[in-house]
Structure 1
């Protein structure tokens, strides 16, 4: 039988720039006084809020400017809500900027490098108490398709952030292909249940998964290993934004749409949009390209749609070399 225990200590004082987080945690745990001392294999969880405060990531004033500074690109906007991809690669509402539990008129930005923050905290804990632990830095995020929020790992050190079950066989003899639990996120969620949002408990210690903790000289892959690269996510833009970006057709907007789709996928899309009236065949002059022919009655309606349709699939639309050939456009796969 496997059991987990999560302890979130009370009594952590207000964290300010320069606060020694490791010392604050050990004091709150009652280290050396018979309290809840750390042991090798524990997982220490800390909110990004206090990490940011200790690292001087508190700013006065203009939240809009801070959002612009922290944004790599906008994913979606709905009224006052802006979902962005940060410079960390995280996709979050308002770039993770927080105005709660901080002096009125101030905002807290995410740590510059949460994995580095986790590594420093791990090393400092070992210096102070001699224990080898894993560290997870957390923040709260929404989820596509789900109401509510949960905590996720945005930084990690000294642990495997994901387990791979690919190639293993279940009890029924089925081979697992892509099962890979994001255990660092699961640790973050479990810790948040003990910490609460209003309890003033920014630390938690999870015990029972020492198998995840790596030797002291191995920092592990960090939480960045859980971030999908641009183009690797099937939902790189919001629904409305995807339409706008495809219509705009600017090269800088291409990456989130991913690698060029296979020709047969693009052919199916052209046929779907045209209602089956378009004819798509391999180009006579370029074996990698496709020629699209439209009936004269369909040309005014469909010709303008071929460019954004191609763009969304990682291709580009070009005018035919011979306008008298009946070809409405030549579609070519985008090259990196």
Structure 2
């Protein structure tokens, strides 16, 4: 069977194996030395390791509870609902409680995510190659929820020596349809497959995935890492939770602007102004600005402008004779 566009691809079989026998990992342990006796690695395999054992080996275990450690692991809060806090971490990951885990660790202790999961993956890959001569990809995983979906699945928070996302843009399917934005996040798919073999309560934090050697990069080429799968700040359509977005738009703090994204086109702002303020606002496009009746100025206008990446100018609009026109002007904020 051949793929469209005469592309060579993987076979139809992918396997995941998660061995028993890894002892409790503690700070300073040589993780590669512990796992190598348990696995039979071949060139092109992907070694999958949970972030928890990586963090334990790297000394990222702390005493206390999640709440005490959360602030230090948080770049900004995305949303809060009851006891659940979703944050963007210093890595750029968006996770509940910053990925801080209190399971499979001694009572009274918590495990933080690795300081730099991609660097951890690179170190593991280099050590495996040095000791075995095998060229493998490495994925460091953690568990995360998904927007619009119940339940959780493992994702790649670190990766080395691996294509983390395939790109099918510009190719065609078997029916001739163009694939415009299809980009499978294969590192995440590998993480989810490995978790099926590991199990949550099986005490098997290491797995080997075989059958996608086409994704493994040559020795010395570590690739962009799992950081390449993180959308830049402001590039996500859901930078805040619904309630938080309303509060931040009303507050209008410039420091909260970036997660709302780049300034919207004027047509989108005009549609929102008409929907919220109605026809009396007489919102319209004039050159590179949007004008609105002064009578419509107020918190609602300011919040809409902020949310769409625009600002309300302080000075009223004047005619050629310097007479006030009874309008206020909105312009896009600077990039």
TM superposition score category, shorter chain reference: over 0.9
Q: In 1, are the aligned partners of 2:266 and 2:285 still within 8 Å (CA)?
A: no
Match of 1:75 in 2: 78
| 2:277 aligned to which of 274, 279, 298 | 274
| 1:161 aligned to which of 143, 161, 164 | 164
* TM-score after normalising by structure 2: 0.93
| 1:202 aligned to which of 182, 201, 205 | 205
Residue 17 of structure 2 corresponds to residue 26 of structure 1 = no
Match of 1:242 in 2: 245
| 1:212 aligned to which of 205, 210, 215 | 215
Deviation at 1:322, TM superposition (A): 5.2
Cα distance in structure 2, aligned partners of 1:213 and 1:158: 6
**Secondary structure at 1:277 match in 2:** helix
Residue 6 of structure 2 corresponds to residue 7 of structure 1 = no
Deviation at 1:277, TM superposition (A): 3.1
Range 110-119 or range 54-63, more displaced: 54-63
Q: In 2, are the aligned partners of 1:191 and 1:206 still within 8 Å (CA)?
A: yes
Q: In 2, are the aligned partners of 1:23 and 1:128 still within 8 Å (CA)?
A: no
Kindly tell me the number of residue pairs found equivalent between the two proteins.
320
Cα distance in structure 1, aligned partners of 2:182 and 2:250: 36
* TM-score after normalising by structure 1: 0.92
C-alpha root-mean-square deviation of aligned residues, in Å?
1.3
In structure 2, stretches of 5+ residues that fail to align are 1-10, 319-323
Cα distance in structure 1, aligned partners of 2:67 and 2:317: 51
In structure 1, stretches of 5+ residues that fail to align are 30-36
Q: In 1, are the aligned partners of 2:32 and 2:128 still within 8 Å (CA)?
A: yes
Match of 2:3 in 1: none
Deviation at 1:313, TM superposition (A): 0.2
Q: In 1, are the aligned partners of 2:310 and 2:332 still within 8 Å (CA)?
A: yes
Range 252-261 or range 56-65, more displaced: 56-65
Runs of 4+ in structure 1 over 4 Å off: none
Residue 263 of structure 2 corresponds to residue 293 of structure 1 = no
Deviations 1:204-263 (A, max 9, x none): 000000000001110011000000001100000000000000001001100000000001
Deviation at 1:293, TM superposition (A): 1.8
Match of 1:145 in 2: 148
Deviations 1:147-184 (A, max 9, x none): 00000000000010000000001111111100000000
Cα distance in structure 2, aligned partners of 1:9 and 1:276: 67
Deviation at 1:63, TM superposition (A): 2.7
Match of 1:33 in 2: none
Residue 98 of structure 2 corresponds to residue 95 of structure 1 = yes
